[in-house]
Amino acid sequence: MVPTRPSSLNIAILAAGHGKRMRSGVPKVLHPLGGRPLLAHVVDTARKLAADRICVVYGHGGDAVRQRFPDPGLRWALQDPPQGTGHALAQALPQLTADGVTLVLFGADPLVSTETLEGVLRPARAGALSLLTIELDDPARYGRIVREANGAVQAIVEYKDATPEQRRIREINTGVMAAPTECFARWLPAVSNRNAAGEYYLTDVIALARKEGTRVEATRASNVIETLGVNTMRELAELERLYQRAQADLLLDAGVLLIDPDRIDIRGTLECGADVAIDVGCVFEGAVRLGNGAQVGPYCVLKDTVVEAGAQIMPYSHLDGATVGANARVGPYARLRPGADLGADVHIGNFVEVKASSIGRGSKANHLAYIGDTTLGAGVNFGAGSITANYDGASKHRTVIEDDASIGSNCVLVAPVKIGRGATIGGGSTIAKEAPADTLTLTRAPQVTVPGWKRPAKKPKDRKG
């Protein structure tokens, strides 16, 4: 039988496995790789292929999986209880278009490239059953690709059912396959569960395809990392390191200076300009952009942050939802929380925390300070130990500090309050009313000396022999 040329693309993602070897209550496909669930990587790949329909077959922990992926563009099929990969695909078929080609992916195999998958799809679009394989030095317990003398694919034999001779084969099945959807619809009802595991193997469709004269073609993956899946925490950790090294190599190829490519973690996207330098132990989460010449010192964490050209992030600083202006300097040991917006040439020093505040060009808070819910102008000096008291126990209030003001050490600015342009606040002051521009404002209790005062002495402890 020669099927008509498929007109659409379906992708079925099999994600119903229990993942018992993970020894975790979290569904296997929700464990993170590069800061995102394993399944998220697979769904993103499916979207890049411009699939007409994407169906996720779920089972164990299904409610948690569906809640994590609320996208209305995804279709869902329940497999309960799981009875093998063939049974899983059969649950997805009612969600797919009958006239298209179907590509089968796995929710815990996250790193196959769109280029490789396009290679798998080409034979399927011409009417063949198309497989993705890889040759391994140690094929372990994977299903083996059995070929005829002329090289044609004869069968995939699962490790449990393989003979000793078949187990010596190094070419293994990755599980990824594609065929016209009408072929899968015809083959799957004929798949039997008479095997060592009592499951319906999707790989049994190869024999059915050959029996009716459908071509079986295999495409070998160019890189083993594309074929790796996750079944244990050890495998997840190993895949994480491979993934992170691949991200580091991309940065190196783009001209980024990485002091040690094996000590960087990218858990989202990292966009770098020219001449960016990143020291060891840094973590990048969400969407981070580093401008030309930006420098990030060791052991920093940046999440959803923009660092403009020439800025320096000193060691052990944490930035979350922040913007750092050109040539600014942050840290060491600084914390920028969501809404921190630093202008050009701003200095934020050690043990300074900034939240929901804009800080104008050239302003400085160099030591032990808290700036929250504040509009702080240009050229301001914010002294050591000073804070904006922005919360009254029920609501947040805003502090306004105008250009060129100087806030002395150990001051408390009780919001809502305004510090005028060029005003000076004397050290140790608590300011709850507006401080006029170009004046000195301070609040201090009179200094008192008490003659003859004696410091209380501790009573000696009784010692028992």
| DSSP character string of 69-99 | ---TTEEEEE-SS---HHHHHHHHGGGS-TT
CA dist., res. 96 & res. 314, Å (int): 52
Sequence-ordered list of residues with C-beta below 8 angstroms from that of 50, at least 6 positions apart, any chain = 9
Residues with catalytic function: 367
- The separation between the first and the last C-alpha atoms of the chain, rounded to the nearest angstrom, is 103
Sequence-ordered list of residues with C-beta below 8 angstroms from that of 342, at least 6 positions apart, any chain = 322, 323, 324, 325, 328, 330, 336, 348, 354, 359
3-state helix, strand, coil in the chain (%, to 5): 20, 30, 45
Contacts 24+ apart (CB under 8 A), 328-331: 331/297, 331/300
Q: Which class for 452: exposed (0-12), middle (13-18), buried (19 or more C-beta within 10 A)?
A: exposed
Residue with tokens 């077959």: 57
Q: Which two tokens stand for residue 209?
A: 């395809």
CA 201 to chain centre: 33
CA 296 to chain centre: 19
CB 248: neighbour CB atoms within 10 A? Answer: 20
CA dist., res. 293 & res. 288, Å (int): 15
Amino acid 427 reads G
* Residues making up the chain, counted from first to last: 465
Q: Helix 114-125 and helix 38-48: axis angle, to 10°?
A: 50
Amino acid 307 reads V
CA dist., res. 401 & res. 396, Å (int): 16
β-strand pairing of 144-147 with 153-157: antiparallel
Residue with tokens 């040539």: 327
CA dist., res. 210 & res. 85, Å (int): 19
| DSSP character string of 260-304 | -TTSEEEEEEEEE-TT-EE-TTEEEEEEEEE-TT-EE-TT-EEES
